[in-house]
């Protein structure tokens, strides 16, 4: 059954959105419950980013306010976009230090999950770590590399983004922590990812590029890095050459049940490929 159809809110010439009371209440509900769940599960860098950005607990943050803080730390910013944008536009924004965010928030009936990334996912899940230089540099360089890739290869290349920026895990002195925005904006995935149920592998670029994923399930497999500096080391390699090798070797057998349509190749949400 098809879920609610979302449409981005209008953005003023100065970058502000007139959010309704209901939309702000939904943000407040999401922030309150997620703030409790991430304790002890989110990495320190994410928690520090939350402190820096100091999101309101009652109202959806305005993009110009977020951008002022991000620009001070890493030169990044958030770019308001429609619910769906083309892959080339997505990668172009990243290459220019702009993180795309659709200006809508999920309805109350879909608090736990929605397939399209909303303002809560993008802003709460991703922007805190955009205060971290290694994370921000990885995003920028990934965008540049993706623009050089053959368009038909971008879906496979996006696996590097998926298993890091969206669903990455990090080794720390206090144990394994989450840093992926797809994890830390999801009440279910935040708890599930650190259980014994999913498989966790050391990050390897070739392995990641051969690993399929689905967007609509708890991830059966996560990849873990040792330090945020590892992110940029990934892109110090000849990624497009490794991508060619991955194509020759072929994909691994999926660790999830089949689905008729996994990902739309022709358009993407503000974060999904």
For residue 264, pLDDT beyond 80: no
Identify the band that residue 257 occupies on the pLDDT scale cut at 50, 70 and 90: confident
The two three-digit tokens of residue 21, written as one number:
């009371």
pLDDT in tens, 163-172: 999 999 999 9
- In 10 A of CB 51, how many CB atoms? 11
21-254+263-269 has which fold?
1.10.800
Supply the mean pLDDT for the chain.
92
pLDDT in tens, 178-216: 999 999 999 999 999 999 999 999 999 999 999 999 999
Q: What was the pLDDT predicted at 102? A: 94
For residue 86, pLDDT beyond 50: yes
pTM of the model as a whole: 0.92
Alpha-carbon span 180 to 169, nearest angstrom: 7
Q: Where are the domains of the chain?
A: 21-254+263-269
Q: Shortest CA distance to 111 belongs to which of 25, 169, 38, 193?
A: 25
Q: What was the pLDDT predicted at 260? A: 56
8 Å CB contact between 106 and 121: no
For residue 58, pLDDT beyond 60: yes
Q: What was the pLDDT predicted at 115? A: 81
For residue 267, pLDDT beyond 70: no
Q: What was the pLDDT predicted at 1? A: 45
Residues 99-118, mean pLDDT to the nearest whole number: 93
Q: What was the pLDDT predicted at 266? A: 39
The two three-digit tokens of residue 79, written as one number:
């770019």
8 Å CB contact between 146 and 124: no
């Amino acid at each position: 059954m098809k879920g609610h159809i979302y449409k981005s809110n209008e953005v003023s010439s100065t970058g502000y959105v007139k959010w309704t009371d209901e939309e702000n209440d939904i943000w407040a509900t999401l922030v309150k419950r997620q703030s409790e769940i991430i304790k002890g599960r989110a990495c320190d860098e994410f928690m520090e980013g939350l402190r820096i950005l100091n999101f309101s607990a009652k109202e959806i943050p305005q993009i110009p306010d977020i951008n002022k803080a991000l620009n001070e730390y890493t030169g990044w910013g958030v770019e308001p976009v429609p619910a769906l944008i083309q892959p080339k536009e997505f990668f172009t924004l990243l290459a220019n230090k702009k993180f795309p965010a659709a200006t809508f928030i999920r309805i109350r009936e879909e608090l736990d999950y929605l397939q399209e990334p909303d303002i809560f996912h993008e802003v709460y899940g991703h922007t805190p770590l955009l205060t971290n230089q290694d994370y921000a540099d990885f995003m920028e360089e990934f965008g540049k590399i993706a623009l050089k890739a053959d368009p038909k290869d971008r879906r496979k290349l996006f696996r590097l983004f998926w298993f890091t920026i969206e669903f990455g895990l990090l080794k720390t002195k206090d144990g394994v922590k989450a840093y992926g925005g797809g994890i830390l904006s999801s009440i279910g995935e935040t708890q599930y990812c650190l259980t014994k149920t999913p498989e966790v592998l050391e990050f390897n670029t070739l392995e990641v590029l051969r690993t399929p994923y689905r967007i609509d399930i708890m991830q059966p497999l996560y990849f873990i890095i040792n330090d945020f500096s590892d992110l940029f080391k990934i892109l110090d390699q000849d990624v497009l050459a490794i991508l060619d090798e991955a194509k020759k070797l072929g994909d691994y057998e999926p660790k999830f049940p089949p689905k008729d349509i996994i990902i739309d190749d022709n358009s993407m949400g503000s974060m999904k490929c």
